[in-house]
Structure 1
Amino acid sequence: MFRRTEPTDCTIVWEGRELPARAGESLAAALLAAGITSFRETPVTGAARGPLCLMGACFDCLVQVAGTQNMQACLVPVTPGLVAGIQHGARSFEEEAA
Structure 2
Amino acid sequence: MYAVVEIAGQQVAVTPNKTFTVPYMSNVNDGDSIEFTNILLASDNGKVTVGAPYIKGLVKATVTKAHNKSETVLVFHKKRRKGYQKLNGHRQKYTTIKINDIKI
Give the TM bin, normalised by the shorter chain. Answer: under 0.3
Looking at secondary structure, tell me which structure has more strand per residue.
Answer: 2
Normalising by the residue count of structure 1, what TM-score does the alignment of the two structures yield? 0.27
Looking at secondary structure, tell me which structure has more helix per residue.
Answer: 1
Normalising by the residue count of structure 2, what TM-score does the alignment of the two structures yield? 0.26
